[in-house]
Chain A
Amino acid sequence: MTNPTHGTHIFYDGLWRNNAGLVPLLGLCPLLAISTNLINALALALATLAVLVVTCVLVSCTRRWVTAPARLLCYVVIIATAVTLVDQWMAATRYELYRNLGIFVPLIATNCAIFARAELFASRNGPGAALVDALATGLGFGAVLVTLGTLREVIGNGTLLSGADTLFGPAAASWKIEFADGFVLAALPPGAFFSLAALVALRQALGARAATEELESP
């Protein structure tokens, strides 16, 4: 696989071709555990995106001084700092949401997608490219989180946008939509695996079709 350096290539790579949640299957812990409703999934996606951007830009800026073999330790320090900042900010400004997300905000530090982008891309490219890559990876991962969250909330709970006020403020409490009773399995861990499997299969199918088109085009 070529190492993309052009801006749009980098973006397309992170968002689709190498989507962290659907291709290398990174960050499965939050992907499966926190995607029970749309708002929580969206909140964690935004937090992960913030950590990704901060980490990748910092790793890229310090790449001349941070070289093998201790670079992973340095990434850990940078990631932990970024996660702590996001954690404190969320506790100060969105406390109820912060409590709902529980341990998964600190666990962003263990998200392998962040490590992977820091090691594979940010440590070898300039800050501008690292920023684009982080944005693309974060948006790609976030898109999978939000899709799963929507699916699992609608099917598993029969609602959508419940808890919107924890993220968007008290006025958003009226955004909640309720359908029929949900099919509980979708909200439980097995449902998470089934839903993610469906998305991965869809990604594979779409990717395979694109690949054959590429091969067949003159």
Chain B
Amino acid sequence: MSVNRRTLGMALVLTALAIVGVAIIQTSFDATAARIAANERDAAMYQIREILAAEPYDNRPANDVIVVTHPDLLGGPQARKVYRARAQGEPVAVVMETLAPDGYSGPIALLVGVYADGRLAGVRVTAHRETVGLGDRIELAQSNWVLDFAGERLGPAPHARWAVRRDGGEFDQFTGATVTPRAVVQAVRDALIYFEQHADELFAPANP
């Protein structure tokens, strides 16, 4: 068996190109990695700051994070980050990542902010695949619907009011789209139940 010289030549050219390509990409990566990481942190913190805007706090929630899981109340077995806001060390609010698994086109990722006294600080949608023009009105960019959550409380069990109007609750649905707002309302309710059950742990200092 003899190696065809032409094939060998092509293999060498391809290898050379690959090495040069990787070298170029590595250089670019080193030049941009810090900026990209900072951008990712800023994007995550932007919505959290929005949710926490109404009450003063003096720590940096980005640096005061714990990780929790609750397959039933937080929409799945994955780890959820909880950002804590404090004033002079006293609890002010938490912002919890959660998931509404039963959106119309898939799961809807949410941030739910709750004050220490159990009032909702706000809700924001961070990722979804809902229908353009119908379900996507859960996004703040499309409508103000999600702002109605601010100030709400869980209330006593059985939490019947935590549903869309069609299901006998007190929250508006959208014309032409019920599944999406229903999923979000239920996920917010579940996050509030989780907060009620675990408030102490949620504000406990993180391990240094």
Q: A91-B32, A187-B132 known; A77 and B21 CB under 8 Å? A: yes
Flag whether B160 is at the interface (Cβ < 8 A). Answer: no
Flag whether A124 is at the interface (Cβ < 8 A). Answer: no
> With the chains together, A67 CA to B7 CA distance in Å?
10
Flag whether B143 is at the interface (Cβ < 8 A). Answer: no
Q: Return A8 CB to nearest CB of chain B, in Å.
A: 32
Flag whether B17 is at the interface (Cβ < 8 A). Answer: yes
Q: How many A-B residue pairs have CB under 8 A?
A: 62
Q: A74-B14, A77-B14 known; A88 and B133 CB under 8 Å? A: no
Asked if residues B28 and A84 are in contact (CB atoms below 8 Å), the reply is: yes
Chain B 6-39 interface residues, beta-carbon cutoff 8 Å to A: 10-11, 13-14, 17-18, 21, 24-25, 28-29, 32, 35-36, 39
List of B residues within 8 angstroms of A74 by Cβ: 13-14, 17
Q: Return A170 CB to nearest CB of chain B, in Å.
A: 13
Asked if residues A91 and B39 are in contact (CB atoms below 8 Å), the reply is: yes
Flag whether A66 is at the interface (Cβ < 8 A). Answer: yes
Q: Which of A73, A88, A99 contacts B28 (CB 8 A)?
A: A88
B interface bracket (residues with beta carbon within 8 Å of A): 20 to 34
With both beta carbons as reference points, the residue of chain B lying nearest to A184 in the complex is identified as B133
The contact string, 1 if C-beta is below 8 Å from chain B, for chain A 46-86, is: 00000000000000001001110110011001101100110
Q: How many interface residues does A have (CB within 8 Å)?
A: 27
> With the chains together, A96 CA to B28 CA distance in Å?
20
Q: Which of B24, B35, B40 contacts A81 (CB 8 A)?
A: B24
List of A residues within 8 angstroms of B17 by Cβ: 62, 66, 74, 77-78
Chain B 72-112 interface residues, beta-carbon cutoff 8 Å to A: none
Chain B 186-207 interface residues, beta-carbon cutoff 8 Å to A: none
List of B residues within 8 angstroms of A182 by Cβ: 133
List of B residues within 8 angstroms of A96 by Cβ: 43
> With the chains together, A112 CA to B54 CA distance in Å?
50
The contact string, 1 if C-beta is below 8 Å from chain B, for chain A 179-206, is: 0001010011000000000000000000
> With the chains together, A89 CA to B17 CA distance in Å?
21
Asked if residues A89 and B21 are in contact (CB atoms below 8 Å), the reply is: no
List of A residues within 8 angstroms of B32 by Cβ: 88-89, 91-92
Asked if residues B132 and A91 are in contact (CB atoms below 8 Å), the reply is: no
Asked if residues A67 and B10 are in contact (CB atoms below 8 Å), the reply is: yes
Flag whether A212 is at the interface (Cβ < 8 A). Answer: no
The contact string, 1 if C-beta is below 8 Å from chain A, for chain B 134-159, is: 10000000000000000000000000
With both beta carbons as reference points, the residue of chain A lying nearest to B25 in the complex is identified as A84
Flag whether A93 is at the interface (Cβ < 8 A). Answer: yes
Measured CB to CB, the residues of B under 8 A from A are 10-11, 13-14, 17-18, 21, 24-25, 28-29, 32, 35-36, 39-40, 42-43, 132-134
A-B contacts besides A85-B25, A95-B36, 11 pairs, CB < 8 Å? A67-B10, A70-B10, A78-B21, A81-B21, A84-B25, A85-B24, A85-B28, A88-B25, A92-B32, A95-B39, A99-B43
Closest 9 CB pairs of A and B: A95-B39, A184-B133, A81-B21, A92-B32, A92-B35, A70-B10, A91-B36, A88-B32, A77-B17
